[in-house]
Amino acid sequence: MTITHSRSHELFEAAQRVLPGGVNSPVRAFRGVGGSPLMIERGEGAYMWDADGNRYIDYVLSWGPLILGHAHPAVVAAITRQAARGTSYGAPTELETQLAEQVIAMMPGIEQIRFVNSGTEATMSALRLARAYTGRSKIIKFSGCYHGHADMLLVQAGSGVATLGLPDSPGVPASTTAHTLVAEYNDVAAIEALFAEHGSDIAGVIVEPIAANMGFVLPQPGYLQALRDLTRQHGALLIFDEVMTGFRVSPGGAQGAWGIDPDLTCLGKVIGGGLPVGAYAGKRAMMQTVAPAGPMYQAGTLSGNPLAMVAGLVTLQHIQQADWFNQIAKRTAALVAGMEQVASEASIPIQAGHAGTMFGFYFLKEAGQAITSYATARAYAHTERFARFFWAMIERGVYMAPSQFEAGFMSLAHSQEDIDMTLAAARAVLSEL
Ligand code: HOZ
């Protein structure tokens, strides 16, 4: 069976004439797997349809936000209802308080929150806040972690930067990254060394609790606690970038799952239920630095947008209900266990992992290799095999992230039958690779 993508190709040709690279975000261009991207026309539940009418089981889910699946009826109804009442006011609404209360009830480290429009805005603002609050300049990030595209964070970044194998981006003046220190993820000695040298200048450490923009790398036992201890010891803030892990590792994010108490948290994706939202949040004493409560300026015309607030609110209320979160997490575990089984039957070495409703797997160049950091991800990931796997899965109606250096996501809409179909496809593909 060979499916056709001719309409997608035509549409992508047209897109490239008017959009740089034909896309509005680089990994969507499929450069990590070659070929040209599928142009999507519609999504419903666990599925997306491309412009040629092909249906795919979707494990990208808009890169994480759609934890209830595409076009969940309750989310669609809430957005539709709100749209009829106005799409934006540029004035405070009760909806913002309601979503804030919902997030605070779910995430243990959060006492106050400021809504913005994207994860990039969230991380950028959280770092400004860390600097304003501590009066210090330096920040620490980890190589392969991606926190959006703000200048100071585009240093050894993951996601599209890793997929395209880019050096740090042109257009970022050295002066804007002069205060950004970089350590290897999962390496406690590396960050201890940075604190030993720069301790009293470090405003904050920003980390993805699971490094999910260089594939899927779990923190080693004790690693996040070591970051917590070191930051406290040196008077620096610990900033969890939970844009991906928030409401996905557990309803309370990675901080809820692992009992670590960050000072500040960055959110995005699920918090907007598929609409553009981000947020930075944390301890009241720190958040009171933000204008107009305090002197640190940050603002936005569409921040707290009512459509986004209702979509987020309905989504978070759903994942708190009944046993739905656990159901999604169980399906995630089943998919990952199945992938390990299928790969082992085909004698293809992989490293797979999952936490809550997120997952990832690498094809390894050789059995026995362990990926724990960006350096090992780049050295051991068999990206060429991944590209062949990706396209063969597309042929069989399964859509995974078009890059070895991205994570996968599950939704409430994915059924056991979808998982079984995915594993049957993977078995067929891996036996031929
Ligand atoms: N940076 C996002 C994934 N980690 C990709 C966003 C997109 O292309 O939509």
**C-alpha to C-alpha distance for 94 and 81, rounded to whole angstroms:** 15
- Domain residue ranges of the chain, discontinuous segments joined by +: 6-63+322-432, 73-319
205 sits in which H/E element: strand 202-207
Omega into 292 within 30° of 0, i.e. cis? yes
Pairing of strands 138-143, 112-116: unpaired
DSSP string, 331-388: HHHHHHHHHHHHHHHTT--EEEEEETTEEEEEEBSSTT----SHHHHHHHB-HHHHHH
- Please report which confidence band the pLDDT of residue 175 belongs to, taking 50, 70 and 90 as the band edges: confident
Instruction: Decide if pLDDT at 138 tops 90.
Output: yes
What's the pLDDT score for residue 2? 74
Query: Which residue's CA is minimally distant from atom 4 of ligand 1?
Result: 159
Cα-to-chain-centroid distance, residue 263: 20
Distance 241 CA to ligand 1 centre (A): 15
Distance 25 CA to ligand 1 centre (A): 7
What's the pLDDT score for residue 90? 97
In ligand 1, which atom is closest to the CA atom of 64?
Answer: 3
What's the pLDDT score for residue 166? 63
pTM for the whole thing? 0.96
**What is each CA distance from 385 to 70, 147, 397, in whole angstroms?**
29, 27, 18
146 as an active site residue: the answer is: yes
Q: Answer yes or no: are the C-beta atoms of 376 and 184 closer than 8 Å.
A: no
Cα-to-chain-centroid distance, residue 230: 25
Residue 45 contacts by C-beta under 8 Å, 6 or more apart in sequence?
69, 70, 71, 411, 413
Q: Answer yes or no: are the C-beta atoms of 359 and 335 closer than 8 Å.
A: yes
Residue tagged active-site, from 138, 141, 269, 283: 269
Instruction: Decide if pLDDT at 1 tops 60.
Output: no
Report pLDDT digits (tens) over 263-279. Answer: 999 999 999 999 999 99
In ligand 1, which atom is closest to the CA atom of 148?
Answer: 1
Average pLDDT (167-172) is 79
Buried b (16+ CB within 10 A) or exposed e, 286-296: bbebbeeeeeb
Distance 424 CA to ligand 1 centre (A): 28
Could you tell me the two tokens for 126?
């959280």
Residue tagged active-site, from 58, 241, 263, 418: 241
CATH number of 73-319: 3.40.640.10
419 sits in which H/E element: helix 416-432
Report pLDDT digits (tens) over 282-323. Answer: 999 999 999 999 999 999 999 999 999 999 999 999 998 879
In ligand 1, which atom is closest to the CA atom of 24?
Answer: 8
CATH number of 6-63+322-432: 3.90.1150.10
- Please report which confidence band the pLDDT of residue 161 belongs to, taking 50, 70 and 90 as the band edges: confident
What is the percentage of the chain residues whose pLDDT exceeds 90?
92
Residue tagged active-site, from 146, 374, 380, 399: 146
Query: Which residue's CA is minimally distant from atom 7 of ligand 1?
Result: 25
What's the pLDDT score for residue 167? 60
* Ligand 1 neighbours (beta carbon < 6 A): 25, 27-28, 63, 159-160, 213, 406
Distance 397 CA to ligand 1 centre (A): 21
What's the pLDDT score for residue 165? 61
Task: Say whether 73-319 and 6-63+322-432 share the same fold.
Answer: no
Question: Which of 19, 27, 58 for mutating ligand 1's site (highest number of atoms within 8 Å of CB)?
Answer: 27
In ligand 1, which atom is closest to the CA atom of 25?
Answer: 8
